[in-house]
Amino acid sequence: MQKRFSEALNELRGLIKEWSAPSVLIAVSGGIDSMCMAELFASMEQSLPFAVAHCNFRLRGEESDGDEALVRKWAQEHNVILHIKSFDTQEYAASNGISIEMAARDLRYGWFADLCREYGYAAVAVAHNANDNAETLILNMLRGSGLSGLTGMSSLSVVPGTSIPLVRPLLGCTRKQIEGYMFSHKAEYRDDSTNASSEYKRNRIRNEVFPVFETVNPSFVRTLNREMGYFSEAEDIVTEWCQMQTESVLTDAQAPALVGISLPSLLAVRHWRYLLYHILEPYGFNSSVLASLEDLLSSERTSSGKRFESPEYILLVEREQMVVFPKEEKAVLSPLSEEDIMIVSGAGLYSFNGRKLQVEVFPYKENMPLKQPEGVLVMDADRLPFPFILRQWRTGDWFVPLGMRGKKKVSDLFADLKYDTFRKKSAIVIVDSAEDDSDARHISAVAGVRIDDRCKVVSCTRNIVRISLI
């Protein structure tokens, strides 16, 4: 096992171009897996300098302190640099609204990264093994993770949130091999009493599911790890196909939307369901949301106006497309109250409804060009006097488009422009504050789009107001 471990570690070192520092940081909890890794590091023929990091999560009282004492003793006996840190894991989990498992993960990896930056360690080594990998596969399948979750853990990755290499030199070893090595070398380790409990999902799989698998296939851990290698290759093939297809289904999303997906183009792709998963997975939409979305798109039900949420993003489905935008823009999708307006009292830069407008006033000169770039409107300043009002579009708003005689509802204008719900709600209308209540729905302009005919520049115009939607 020592030879296999050394070969795996040297192969990993060869894959890391940035491995220039001489020393590596190894994470040692005091359990059988990490103590085995520590023994293997210490017994390498061509020694590799290393330091030990131990986290005391203060979750098991005296038992946690006993783990720390063992790691401290081992480090002293082997004359190895030791870093130890205690965490209030329960408080961190409660204050961040996450599970104890996730809290411990965040705390240890954050600390490992800090140690690497402070002391210049080339990489972090953890003791994940083939059994851990098989457990991860089953957990990912139960959560719903696509092909990427079926590939399991990689022997080489990075410390979460950093570019620091994270290596798993024991990933090719089963727990039985680890137990055999520790028994034959009479090496000391400590059992975590919580491992016998099935309170955590991973423990339940380890203690209750895997024994059943072993009755079917005594070598099931090896089999699952081999299959994960095939899944990894399959994922590469599928990802390449998805990247080729993605460009053909994306639309030009209007800010603050992050991505737009053409529904006709998407549904024309043979394997559109997985392509949709590939596009949306980075935005955190889980399997249940995606299942509901797929069911909606494959049915004949009306999809326009449907909304789906992930922890940080919103997906809005319209007649011809879907758009994804950050949740902080969610307020734009909610109707404003009568008080949610902005009064424009003079020239300047204004921010409203998630957008910015530049208001300028100029003397009008004969033959001054009135054609403006897209997003810019010019109006007679006397026909739209200060102060005027910016507000969100409301049902019933109407105007007389420039050059026309009849009324047109703003909702009909939006339909002509093929606005989705998001663009409707993010639109800004301009209203003359002097209007009577009876004409409150008669707007002066839709910012960046159209003006009312009564506000147009004429031969007797003295000043113009130019409004640019930035």
- Section 163-167 average pLDDT: 91
3-state secondary structure of 419: coil
Residue 447 has pLDDT above 90, yes or no: yes
Q: Taking 80 as the threshold, does the pLDDT of residue 313 lie above it?
A: yes
Phi/psi of residue 386, each to 5°?
-75, 145
Give the pLDDT mean for 52-69. Answer: 91
Q: Is the pTM of this model over 0.75?
A: no
pLDDT at 436 over 70: no
What's residue 332's pLDDT? 47
Confidence of residue 8 (pLDDT cuts 50, 70, 90): confident
Q: Are 341 and 391 in contact (CB under 8 A)?
A: yes
Measured CA to CA in angstroms, residue 412 lies from 73, 149, 224, 305, 316 at distances of 78, 46, 58, 17, 21
* Rounded distance between C-alpha atoms, residue 210 and residue 201, angstroms: 12
Query: What pLDDT is stored for residue 298 in this prediction?
Result: 87
- Mean model confidence pLDDT for the chain: 87
Residue 468: its pLDDT value, please? 93
pLDDT value at residue 200: 76
Look at residue 415 in the predicted model and tell me its pLDDT: 86
H/E stretch holding 425 reads: helix 421-426
Domains of the chain: 2-216 (3.40.50.620), 238-331 (3.30.465.60), 342-469 (no CATH)
DSSP-derived letter for residue 455 is: G
The pLDDT of 336-354, averaged and rounded, is: 77
Angstrom distance (rounded) from CA 125 to CA 110: 14
Is the per-residue pLDDT at 398 higher than 80?
yes
- Return the structure tokens found at 446: 């839709």
Residue 378 in tokens:
């010019």
For the chain, what is the total number of helices (H) and then of strands (E)?
A: 16, 22
Give residue 328's pLDDT band: very low, low, confident or very high (50, 70, 90). Answer: low
pLDDT of residue 192: 81
Exposure b/e, 99-121, CB count within 10 A at least 16 = b = ebeebbebbbbebbbebbeeeeb
Closest CA to 181 of 65, 81, 27, 42: 42
CA distance 137 to 145: 10
Residues contacting residue 46 through CB under 8 Å, at least 6 positions apart: 6
pLDDT of residue 337: 45
DSSP-derived 3-state class of residue 167: strand
pLDDT at position 335 is 46
